[in-house]
Amino acid sequence: MELELRGITKRFGPLVANDGISLSVAPGQVHALLGENGAGKSTLMNVLFGLIKPDEGAIYIDGKAASFHSPKDAIAAGIGMVHQHFMLVPVFTVAENVTLGIEETGRAGLLDRRKTRRDVRELSHRYGLDVDPDALVEDLPVGIQQRVEIIKALVRQAKVLILDEPTAVLTPAETEELFRIVRQLRDGGTSIIFISHKLKEIQSIADTITVLRRGKVVGERTPPATEEDLASLMVGRDVQLRVSKDAANPGAVVLDVADLTVQGDHGTVSVNGLSFQVRAGEILGIAGVQGNGQTELCEALLGVRPSAAGSVTLNGRDLTHASPRDRLRAGVAYVPEDRKEDGLVGSFSVAENLILDLYDRKPFASGVNLKLGEIAKNAAARITEFDVRTGSAATPAGTLSGGNQQKVILARELGREHKVLIASQPTRGLDVGSIEFVHRRIVEQRDHGDAVVIVSSELDEIYALADRIAVIYEGKITGFRDPDVPTAELGRLMAGGVDAVTPAEAVAPEAVAPEAGTVQEEM
Amino acid sequence: MTTPPPAEPSATPPAVTEEPGEKSRHRPFGEIFKESFLEGNTFTVTVLALVTATVLGGLLCAFTNPAVLHAPAGSMLGKAWDVASGTYVALFEGSVFNPHTVAALFQQASLSTAIHDGYLSAVFGPLSETAVQATPLILAGLAVALPYQAGLFNIGGSSQFIGGAILATWLGYDVSMPFFVHVVVCVIGGFAGGAVIGWLTGEIKARTGAHEVIVTIMLNYVMQYLLAYLLSSHSLLQAPGSSNPITPPIAFNAHLPLLAGTSLRINAGFLIAIACAFGVWWVLNRTTTGFEFRSVGANASAARVAGMKVERTWVLVMLLAGGLAGLAGSAVIQGTDFSLNPNSYGTYGIDAITVALLGRGKPAGVVAAGLLFGALHAGSPGMQTATSTPVQIVQVLQALIVMFVAAPPLIRSLFRLRAARAGGVGTAMSKGWNA
């Protein structure tokens, strides 16, 4: 099936989300759609899937104009979509989810469960999806749930499959699996529209790359295109993919985490006697596959999750049982993993979000009174300093793009007096321009003498930022390495490989800090 | 207004105030009041909901009326119109003003004789009655709206009302104090009585995680039966020598002062209600405590990460809410009823939810909704005498209004309005009420 979009234009008030976009997808091709957050990728796909009516332009299928009034029309025309957030019923089985909406009934109007299960099994087998039709969706890992979505589309005879940021929720291993499946589907004649803002992925999977910027097509490339080329197309200027940074100049130990044990949500031990130290002026990168205790570790460091054992010390002050407020006051700057859930109040204005943990301190409050003038002044200053792209300081933070939301959080946390910055997945879901900005700010903080802890499941990020790398596996640090360690070695540690080096490495290196000898005893 | 000089709008830096379409919170109460009424889509929906409910209510009055049903087919429509319009005219005359009393006023020889004969007060009678009816509705409505801003749903209006009423009544008849002091002590008692019940709800939720909806519903039963028990024993609250479950009347010194002479019932309770509405607005928008309330309500986990004590916020907001509902109890006892009986709490607990819902959880909206429902209450007796429409029709009308307000998609599809989706802001802000 040949799919073509011609001159699609969609306006939301003054904003032109799609501006005369034309592109064609050949059968059996992976067509990547690359663009920053807010470039118009999702709008375009919603137009294609019948969720939004374009103001101008039309969709052609095999040369014939098609008009979609709802996803139903799009599905009937052979278009399938896997949304970034899955549309599955958690308590239903895979087969039930697949059949939902197109239930086949046998005699007396009873559901024909057997046929659906057979279909799922057959598709699963043909494309190597390895999905059990009788498994409950809620029990499945994210990667498998995504395959259920793919099966849903295939059962509905999709000839064009839209994958909206499919790797955002996947671990590196799951991503590899997904790519294998995508290639298999492509070889079977299905066209794939692959939406992403991750350059590396697009390089490895796409046959054609269309780059969108500010609602317009700014270029078409085929894979040998360099990352730098694509990145500069995306943001409209040259981007540094690696932050330039000088060698670290570590000072005294600032944050000392010793034998920390933290329970997870279901009473399991998520962080298991974990120890590390961070010095002023260095960045410790904690690498690891998601779900190995990183979330619980960060929550325990902030104090929103109690520590079962061990200690957390900041500049010699024991914070193990301190409240989040006391820790923030003691000098912890915290960038949470889930910024929408934990970092911002979406319905609050940017100005209010900028004082979310400062609202009761001078100069923003005197007694119980909020000083609205000071709050506005602070907002204006921070918005300029961090280049937050927002309509005004009164715009609800939830309406900003991910990158700008993260800038608001950074502006708030770094604007406060602090000694250590703990940032979890600081650039997850951000576009190239914002990643560059965030990385640069983090390195600047280090150069100002902050101790920095970065928790990230993106190895690129760890390599780009860390002065020292710690690998976490099942709640334990499996090893500390220098940033020039080969990927294979990190991979080995991330999979639980035993550390060949002595655990004394847990203590920060003392090459540039001669007085550090005394803390060696710690371990 | 009550904010210190640096918070005045003029003091904000030009960088921010120059922004077009600026919609921040640092503006006078009046403007925000106005805005909450003119808020684009929300406002339109509310008005259309009122109109739709009025039309439906009119049809209902007309076609349940025996005079209409038994009219010959030809004159049926005319008759129906007469009944429906008559009902609403009577409602208006009973709650806002009555043209007949105004006309009579002008027939008086002079203003002084008019006052002497009580005509002036008769003219303002309906408005006074509306204010009297609105007072407990506004206070109890605030008791729902305030915790809503902190993410809690307070169904316990009636238990908190009873708590306030018990304490205000007891202080009213059992102690004797000079005039001004006695009123103030009883009002504070009313607040405290409700606050204890509210605090209990907050504390149970904070400590055990029990859902506040369940806790408040159960406390409603506890307080209703506690009241019945207290009123059944002469050694407790029951009036000496009385066989009815009723307390002795409170001392005259404990009556809320009348505002416009003895012929009108409007009393200081109405001023307390308005002051409380302003107070709630001030706390929510101008204080650090209110910032905590709103943060916890909008995103509790972000509030926790920002170092706020979410549980403590729950306790405090429920305590304040209970106090407000308790003030509603004190307003009824000290303003109009002067003694407590098992029916004193009426349907205030449920009406409070309706008022808060119609007022969209905002103090100004609660005042407006309270006045509207107060007017419906005040006008319903006249309605019954004029067109023999049963008083219950007013309840139906209230229910219809709220139903339509609570279902914007219904109104939008009825009137073919477009949902304000691109805006996103309004819909995000009004989540929960109309989602």
Of A26-40, A320-334, B28-42, minimum mean pLDDT range: B28-42
Contact of B303 with chain A, judged by CB distance below 8 Å, is answered with yes
Mean pLDDT, residues A120-149 taken together? 85
CB contact under 8 A, A342 and B298: no
Identify the band that residue A347 occupies on the pLDDT scale cut at 50, 70 and 90: very high
Q: Which pLDDT value is given to residue A156?
A: 85
Number of Cβ within 10 Å of residue B262's Cβ equals: 7
Identify the band that residue A201 occupies on the pLDDT scale cut at 50, 70 and 90: confident
CB contact under 8 A, A346 and B428: yes
Average per-residue pLDDT for chain A = 85
Contact of B416 with chain A, judged by CB distance below 8 Å, is answered with no
Work out how many CB contacts closer than 8 A connect A with B.
Answer: 140
**A56-61/A64-66 β-pairing:** antiparallel
- Check whether residue A192 and residue A275 sit in a common domain: no
Enclosing domain of residue A64: 3-235
Q: What is the CATH number of the domain that holds B142?
A: 1.10.3470
- Check whether residue A187 and residue A215 sit in a common domain: yes
**A451-456/A468-473 β-pairing:** unpaired
Residue in this structure with the two tokens 């907050």, named with its chain if needed: B202
Number of Cβ within 10 Å of residue B429's Cβ equals: 17
CA distance B412 to chain A (A): 19
The residue among B225 and A111 whose pLDDT is bigger is B225
The residue among A202 and A422 whose pLDDT is bigger is A422
- Check whether residue A135 and residue A185 sit in a common domain: yes
Contact of B310 with chain A, judged by CB distance below 8 Å, is answered with no
pLDDT at A505 over 60: no
Task: Tell me the per-residue pLDDT of B420-435, one tens digit each, with 9 for 90 and over.
Answer: 433 333 333 333 333 3
Identify the band that residue B31 occupies on the pLDDT scale cut at 50, 70 and 90: low
Enclosing domain of residue B279: 28-92+123-429
Task: Tell me the per-residue pLDDT of B269-317, one tens digit each, with 9 for 90 and over.
Answer: 999 999 999 999 999 999 999 999 999 999 999 999 999 999 999 999 9
Tokens matching residue A188: 């079977």
| Nearest chain B alpha carbon to A413 | B306
Query: Which residues in chain B are closer than 8 Å to A382, comparing Cβ atoms?
Result: none
Of A70-79, B12-21, B188-197, minimum mean pLDDT range: B12-21
Instruction: Determine the length of chain B.
Output: 435
The reply to whether B7 falls in a domain is no
| Nearest chain A alpha carbon to B302 | A342
pLDDT at B10 over 90: no
Strand partners, A34: A196, A211
Q: Which pLDDT value is given to residue B241?
A: 86
CA distance A481 to chain B (A): 31
Identify the band that residue A193 occupies on the pLDDT scale cut at 50, 70 and 90: very high
Q: Which pLDDT value is given to residue B30?
A: 56
The reply to whether B2 falls in a domain is no
Mutate which of B32, B292, B299, B431 to test chain A, going by most A C-beta atoms within 10 A? B299
CA distance A417 to chain B (A): 14
Task: For residue A477, give the DSSP letter.
Answer: E
Structurally, chain A folds into a number of domains equal to 2
Q: What is the CATH number of the domain that holds A221?
A: 3.40.50.300
- Check whether residue A218 and residue A270 sit in a common domain: no
As a whole number of angstroms, the distance between CA A395 and CA A352 comes to 10
Q: If contacts are CB pairs under 8 Å, which of residues 150-179 in chain A contact chain B?
A: none
As a whole number of angstroms, the distance between CA B279 and CA B364 comes to 11
What lies within 8 Å, CB to CB, of B208 at 6+ separation is: none
Single residue among A209, A235, A261 that ends a domain in this structure: A235
Mean pLDDT, residues A233-256 taken together? 78
As a whole number of angstroms, the distance between CA A102 and CA A151 comes to 13
As a whole number of angstroms, the distance between CA A236 and CA B13 comes to 33
Of chain B, the percentage scoring pLDDT greater than 90 comes to 50
- Check whether residue A259 and residue A229 sit in a common domain: no
- Looking from the CA of A405 toward its CB, the CA atoms found within 13 Å total 29
As a whole number of angstroms, the distance between CA A96 and CA B71 comes to 59
pLDDT at A513 over 50: no
**A191-196/A160-164 β-pairing:** parallel
CA distance A40 to chain B (A): 14
Tokens matching residue B185: 């002590």
- Check whether residue A92 and residue A163 sit in a common domain: yes
With vertex at residue B231, the alpha carbon angle to CA B226 and CA B232, rounded to the nearest 5 degrees, is: 100
**Helix or strand run (H / E) with residue B268:** helix B268-286
Of B3, B294, B305, the CB nearest to A304: B305
Peptide bond preceding B257 in cis form (omega within 30 of 0): no
Task: For residue B351, give the DSSP letter.
Answer: H
The residue among B84 and A173 whose pLDDT is bigger is B84
The reply to whether B5 falls in a domain is no
Tokens matching residue B154: 């307070």
Of A304, A370, A384, the CB nearest to B304: A304
- Check whether residue A167 and residue A302 sit in a common domain: no
Query: Which residues in chain B are closer than 8 Å to A343, comparing Cβ atoms?
Result: 302, 305
Tokens matching residue A228: 């730098």
Query: Which residues in chain A are closer than 8 Å to B11, comparing Cβ atoms?
Result: 373
Of B7, B303, B424, the CB nearest to A372: B7
Of A418-422, A440-444, B86-90, minimum mean pLDDT range: B86-90
Query: Which residues in chain A are closer than 8 Å to B292, comparing Cβ atoms?
Result: 359
pLDDT at A26 over 70: yes
Number of Cβ within 10 Å of residue A267's Cβ equals: 7
Task: Tell me the per-residue pLDDT of A76-133, one tens digit each, with 9 for 90 and over.
Answer: 888 888 887 788 898 998 888 888 877 777 777 777 778 888 888 888 888 888 888 8
Task: For residue A248, give the DSSP letter.
Answer: P
CB contact under 8 A, A376 and B287: no
Q: If contacts are CB pairs under 8 Å, which of residues 315-374 in chain A contact chain B?
A: 323-329, 334, 336, 341-349, 351-352, 356-357, 359-360, 365-366, 368-374
> Shortest CA distance to B159 belongs to which of B209, B227, B208?
B227
Average per-residue pLDDT for chain B = 83
Strand partners, A9: A56
Query: Which residues in chain A are closer than 8 Å to B22, comparing Cβ atoms?
Result: 392, 394
Does residue B434 contact residue B357 with C-beta atoms inside 8 Å? no
As a whole number of angstroms, the distance between CA B336 and CA B256 comes to 9
CB contact under 8 A, A392 and B308: no
- Check whether residue A498 and residue A446 sit in a common domain: yes
The reply to whether A425 falls in a domain is yes
- Check whether residue A200 and residue A322 sit in a common domain: no
Task: Tell me the per-residue pLDDT of A387-418, one tens digit each, with 9 for 90 and over.
Answer: 888 888 999 998 888 889 999 999 999 988 89
pLDDT at B104 over 90: no
The reply to whether A369 falls in a domain is no
CB contact under 8 A, A373 and B22: no
Single residue among A204, A235, A266 that ends a domain in this structure: A235
CB contact under 8 A, B298 and A392: no
CB contact under 8 A, A13 and B13: no
CB contact under 8 A, B299 and A360: no
Q: Which pLDDT value is given to residue A346?
A: 92
Structurally, chain B folds into a number of domains equal to 1
Contact of B4 with chain A, judged by CB distance below 8 Å, is answered with yes
Q: Give the global pTM.
A: 0.75
Does residue B389 contact residue B94 with C-beta atoms inside 8 Å? no
**Helix or strand run (H / E) with residue B348:** helix B348-358
Identify the band that residue A432 occupies on the pLDDT scale cut at 50, 70 and 90: confident
Tokens matching residue B159: 């238990």
Task: For residue A342, give the DSSP letter.
Answer: I
Q: Which pLDDT value is given to residue A485?
A: 87
The residue among B154 and A143 whose pLDDT is bigger is B154
The reply to whether B215 falls in a domain is yes
Query: Which residues in chain A are closer than 8 Å to B429, comparing Cβ atoms?
Result: 347, 396
Contact of A389 with chain B, judged by CB distance below 8 Å, is answered with no
> Shortest CA distance to B216 belongs to which of B235, B230, B202?
B202
CB contact under 8 A, A372 and B26: yes
Q: Give the three-class secondary structure for A255.
A: strand
What is the amino acid identity at position B104? A
Mutate which of B10, B305, B311, B429 to test chain A, going by most A C-beta atoms within 10 A? B305
The residue among B357 and A508 whose pLDDT is bigger is B357
Of A487-491, B39-43, B265-269, B327-331, minimum mean pLDDT range: B39-43
- Check whether residue A217 and residue A140 sit in a common domain: yes
Contact of B10 with chain A, judged by CB distance below 8 Å, is answered with no
User: Is the C-alpha dihedral spanning B193, B199, B205, B208 positive or negative?
Assistant: negative
DSSP helix, strand, coil percent of chain B (3-state; round to 5): 70, 0, 25
CA distance A409 to chain B (A): 11
**DSSP letter string over A270-325?**
EEEEEEEEEETT-EEEEE--TTSSHHHHHHHHHTSS-EEEEEEEETTEE-TT--HH
CA distance A380 to chain B (A): 6
- Check whether residue A42 and residue A170 sit in a common domain: yes
Beta strands in B130-283 (DSSP E): none
CB contact under 8 A, B21 and A336: no
As a whole number of angstroms, the distance between CA A279 and CA A258 comes to 14
CA distance B10 to chain A (A): 9
- Check whether residue A62 and residue A189 sit in a common domain: yes
| Nearest chain A alpha carbon to B22 | A394
What is the amino acid identity at position B271? L
Query: Which residues in chain B are closer than 8 Å to A342, comparing Cβ atoms?
Result: 301-302, 304-305
pLDDT at B22 over 90: no
Mean pLDDT, residues A306-314 taken together? 94
| Nearest chain B alpha carbon to A350 | B24
As a whole number of angstroms, the distance between CA A345 and CA A91 comes to 30
Strand partners, A30: A192
- Looking from the CA of A380 toward its CB, the CA atoms found within 13 Å total 16
The reply to whether B223 falls in a domain is yes
CA distance A28 to chain B (A): 36
Mean pLDDT, residues A152-166 taken together? 87
Of chain B, the percentage scoring pLDDT greater than 70 comes to 84
Query: Which residues in chain B are closer than 8 Å to A344, comparing Cβ atoms?
Result: 299, 302
Beta strands in A176-264 (DSSP E): 191-196, 208-213, 216-221, 253-263
| Nearest chain A alpha carbon to B289 | A368
Q: Which pLDDT value is given to residue B210?
A: 93
Q: Which pLDDT value is given to residue A377?
A: 94
